[in-house]
Amino acid sequence: MTKTVSFCGISGSGMSALAQILKLSGYNVRGSDRSFDQGHDTLQKQSLESLGIEIYPQDGSAITDDLDCLYISTAVEDSIPDVKVALEKNIPIKKRFDLLAELFHSYKQGIAVGGTSGKTTVTAMIGYILDKLDKKPCVINGGLLLNYQQQKGIPNYIYNKGDICVIEADESNGSIESYHPYISVINNIGMDHKSLDELQGLFQNFATRTTGAVIVNKDNAPCQSITASVPVVSFSIKDPSADFYASDLTNLPDGISYKLDGKTFRLSLIGSFNVSNALASIAACTQLGIDKFDAAKTLESFLGTHRRLEVIGNKNGITVIDDFAHNPDKVFASMQALKNYSGRILVMFQPHGFSPMRFMGKEIIDSFCQTMDKTDILLMPEIYFAGGTVTRDISSEDFIKMAIAQNKQAHFFPTRAEIKEFILTHAHPGDRIVIMGARDNTLPDFCREILQDL
C-alpha cells in the first residue's frame, strides 16, 4: 500500500528536497509551512504543487488518521499545530535527518559531503558529474541547482533510479553522525556553530565510519590529522604532493581556469575556493571509476548553485550579487574572490541568528575587515529572528562598532528598507552590491528589488 507522509516546514531547502524525492519514489506527499501561510515563498509552493505535493495550512489539518509519518525539521517546535495533532493521534514523528539517513543507506554507494564550508557546491558538482556521465545518481542538496532549473519542482535534487546517492552531511546539528558513507568528503573544518575540537571529533568519526575512501582538503590544517582504515585521498591548490593538485589558477572575467596534471580546465564560477571544490568533486568521482579529466571537463558546464556568489543582474553599470556566506571562512572566501575583480563593494550582511553571532560574530567581522579596503562599505540590519524562544541580548550595532574600530566604513540600520535606501543613494557605476546571509528565504527577493530600483 502506498505510504502517505507529511512534512512540517516543507519550504526549507532540506525538507523540500526530501519531499520531492519521496513523491517521485511513489509516496503520497503533503506538507505545510508557516512561510506559505504568511504569503511568502509562493514560487516554492507552486513548484511543490507542480509535482503533485499537496500544501496545507499549518493548522493541523494535514495530520489525518491515514498518515504514516510526520517529518519535521530541527527548527520545528512541539507547540506547532501539526506536531500537536500528530502527538494526539499517535502518528510517528521523525526528524528530517532520520529520513535522509534512511534514504542514503538504501543505496549501494553513498557519497556524503561534509565540511563547514562548500558542501552544497561540492554535493552539486559531484551530482552533476555523475548525472552527465550517466551514472544515474540520486542527489539531495541544500541549494538550488542552476543547471536543473527547467525540471519540475524545486531544483534542489536530481532523481534517478540508480545505485548512487549523494548528500550533504550537516555537522551543525550533529546529524553527520547518522551517516555511514561509502565515500566521504571533508571539504574543510572551521569555526561554525561548534568549537574546533568538537568539529574535529565529529569529522574524524565520520571518516572512521567510511567504507570506501575519504577525500580531504590538504590545504586545511584541521583536515590534515584525519585518519581512516580506508584510503585517504587528498586535494590541494597549494601543495603539489596532494593526490589531486591544481596549479596555475587564473582569474577570468566570468570564472577561473586551472591546470590539472598538465591540462587546462575552466569553471564558470569565480574564486580559488571553487577550484578547491572542483578538486574535491573530481577526487570523489574517480573513486567510482570516472576518469579525472572527464570529470574536470564535465564541470566546465556546471553553472553553480543558487545564492553562492550568484549574479542577479547588472543595471547602470552596477552589479547585484546574492551570497549565502554566514560563517568566518565563507565570508572571507567570498570577499577574497570578489576582491580579485575591480570595483567597490557595498555588502549587506544579515546575521542569521543570535546564537551564531554570540559564538562567531567577532570572527565574521574580522573576515570582513581583513578583505575590505577603504572604499568598501559594510552594512548590517538587525539580526534575523525566525521566531521561537531565543535570548535577544546582542545587536548588529555591536558588530558594526567592531568594524568601525578597525577603521572600516560600516553602518548599522535597524531595517533592510533603510539599507536599501542607503544603497540606492550611494551606489554608482562600477560598484558591486552584495547581499549576504543565510536562513532567510526573502534575501533573493531583496536582491531583485534593489536591482529593479537602481
Three-state secondary structure call for residue 176: helix
**Which three three-digit cell numbers place residue 297?**
571537463
Tens place of pLDDT per residue across the chain (454 aa):
789 999 999 998 889 999 999 999 999 999 999 989 999 889 899 999 999 999 999 999 999 999 999 999 876 778 899 999 999 999 999 999 999 999 999 999 999 999 988 899 999 999 999 999 999 999 999 889 999 999 999 999 999 999 999 999 987 777 899 999 999 999 998 766 667 778 888 899 999 999 999 999 999 999 999 999 999 999 999 999 999 999 999 999 889 999 999 999 999 999 999 999 999 999 999 999 999 999 999 999 999 988 888 899 999 999 999 998 988 988 998 999 999 899 999 999 999 888 889 988 999 999 999 999 999 999 999 998 876 667 778 999 999 999 999 999 999 999 999 999 999 999 999 999 999 998 888 899 999 999 999 9
User: Model pTM?
Assistant: 0.88
Angle in degrees, 0-180, between the axes of helices 13-24 and 42-50, rounded to the nearest 10:
10
**Which three three-digit cell numbers place residue 428?**
554608482
**234 strand-pairing partners:** 216
**If you search the block for the grid coordinates 549565502, which residue do you land on?**
324
Under a CB-based contact definition with an 8 Å cutoff, are residues 322 and 447 in contact? yes
CA dist 262 → 258, 287, 449 (Å): 9, 21, 45
User: DSSP per residue over 355-371, as a string?
Assistant: HHHHHHHHHHHHHHHHH
Question: End-to-end distance of the chain based on CA atoms, in angstroms?
Answer: 55
Nearest to 215 by CA among 230, 196, 205: 230
Domains and CATH numbers, the chain: 4-95 (3.40.50.720), 107-301 (3.40.1190.10), 310-453 (3.90.190.20)
> 132 burial class (0-12, 13-18, 19+ CB within 10 angstroms)?
middle
Report the alpha-carbon distance of residue 321 to residue 451 in Å, rounded.
10
What DSSP designation does 253 have?
T
The half-sphere exposure of 204 on its side-chain side, counting CA atoms within 13 A, is: 11
Under a CB-based contact definition with an 8 Å cutoff, are residues 369 and 409 in contact? no
Phi, psi of 52 (to 5 degrees): 95, 15
Under a CB-based contact definition with an 8 Å cutoff, are residues 453 and 343 in contact? no
**Which three three-digit cell numbers place residue 4?**
502517505
**If you search the block for the grid coordinates 533573493, which residue do you land on?**
444
Nearest to 266 by CA among 281, 277, 255: 255
Q: Is 356 left (phi over 0), alpha (psi -120 to 50) or beta?
A: alpha
